[in-house]
Structure 1
Amino acid sequence: MIPEHTTQLEQVGRPGKLPPGRDHLDELIDQVVALKPELDLGGLAVTGRVLRLAARLEEARARLLAPFELTVGEFDVLATVRRSGPITASEICHAVMITAGGMTKRLDRLEARNLLNRTANPADRRAAHIVLTDDGTRLLDDAYQVIVEAETQLVAAELGDANVRAPVEAALRALLCSPALAEPS
């Protein structure tokens, strides 16, 4: 005999097959509840959606950045340098959570495109300061404009006014600031 959840499992991940108002996490949770009804899946309902949303937002950003010939990671590096001013590669690594090897490759690609420069750091000759070029600043500002407009439209369309957005922001901030999720020092 085939368990009832098997047919539901076939539907997970297939867009357009869900009733209005339900997402794939609803289906996943229903399946887990059928197998393990004693589990409290309230946390999974939230974290699963946050993870899925993060992946979709990153995919959307990648599509928006493609005309600028930037990856999401390269955009993050340029944006970090723009916000911070002269900054070292290790400081960028910490800000964008990437290894030193990965950062070197990104910096090399961006420098080859004349989007940033490495300049001598007077305080520490072993660590160069990273600064944006004029071309890098212009490209980043143009890309930023596209990203901000698209994400503002998305949030406004789905969440409406600030009275609805504020509690969502507060809940997400609370999760991000949770000691259980603190970055290792």
Structure 2
Amino acid sequence: MSQAPDDEVDRIVAAWARERPDLDVSPLEVLSRVSRLARHLDLARRSAFGRHGLESWEFDVLSALRRAGEPYQLTPTQLVRQTLVTSGTMTNRITRLVDRGLVDRAASDADQRSRLVRLTGTGREVVDNALADLVTDEQHLLQGLPEDRQAELAQLLKGLLSPFDDA
């Protein structure tokens, strides 16, 4: 099998190996590529969401509600856990999404002191359309990798990421 041509990471690693032969810079071969790929993915996601008038954080909140299933509602605490932001940040985000008509607040049937955040019909339509564009764009990002290699890569990345998710 022929080796892939040098990329920017190969050049960076070679330069560091030359300049710092005392260090094992081999982790850069994996993690610098992951970092560079994350930048490309972030740009693709911003583009997909932007076509629907959404910021990335808005998609995160709306998609958490959509994935919850009918009636597409969660408590603010559940949203905080799923989106990894502070409660103050979430309160601000919910208010902004209410102002846009994408979510509303409702009293909980189980506890009248508790509030639920609920996806509106408009919010559901926007997040569904943005997700469809996102999946299409991400399929294009992966098109150079055969499906079996995509599955292999997914499992490798899962193994690398799982200790962070467990923490």
What TM bracket, shorter-length normalisation? 0.7 to 0.9
- SS at structure 1 position matched to 2:51: helix
Percent of aligned pairs sharing the same letter: 32
Contact 1:120 1:129 in 2 (8 A): yes
Q: Residue type of the partner of 1:77?
A: V
Q: Which residue of 2 aligns with 1:173?
A: 158
Q: Which residue of 2 aligns with 1:74?
A: 58
Residues 124 and 27 (structure 1), Cα distance of their counterparts in 2 relative to 1, 3 Å cut: farther
For the pair 1:98 / 2:85, whether they are aligned, the reply is yes
User: C-alpha displacement at 1:114, in angstroms?
Assistant: 0.7
Ranges in structure 1 where 5+ consecutive residues have no aligned partner: 1-19
What whole-Å deviation, never above 9, does each CA across 1:127-172 have from its counterpart, x for those lacking one?
A: 31111101111111111111111111221x2212x22212111111
User: C-alpha displacement at 1:46, in angstroms?
Assistant: 1.0
What whole-Å deviation, never above 9, does each CA across 1:23-81 have from its counterpart, x for those lacking one?
A: 33222212211122132222222112112211221121111211211001100110000
User: C-alpha displacement at 1:183, in angstroms?
Assistant: 4.8
Superposition pairs for residues 1-185 of structure 1, below 5 Å? 21-84=5-68, 85-155=72-142, 157-160=143-146, 162-177=147-162, 179=163, 181-184=164-167
Q: Which residue of 2 aligns with 1:11?
A: none
Contact 2:9 2:29 in 1 (8 A): yes
Q: State how far apart, in whole Å, the 2-side matches of 1:128 and 1:57 are.
A: 34
Q: State how far apart, in whole Å, the 2-side matches of 1:96 and 1:21 are.
A: 38
The alignment covers a number of residue pairs equal to 161
Ranges in structure 2 where 5+ consecutive residues have no aligned partner: none
TM-score of the two chains, using structure 2 as the length reference: 0.87
TM-score of the two chains, using structure 1 as the length reference: 0.79
Greater RCO, 1 or 2 (C-alpha within 8 Å, sep 6+): 2
Residues 65 and 182 (structure 1), Cα distance of their counterparts in 2 relative to 1, 3 Å cut: closer
Contact 1:117 1:130 in 2 (8 A): yes
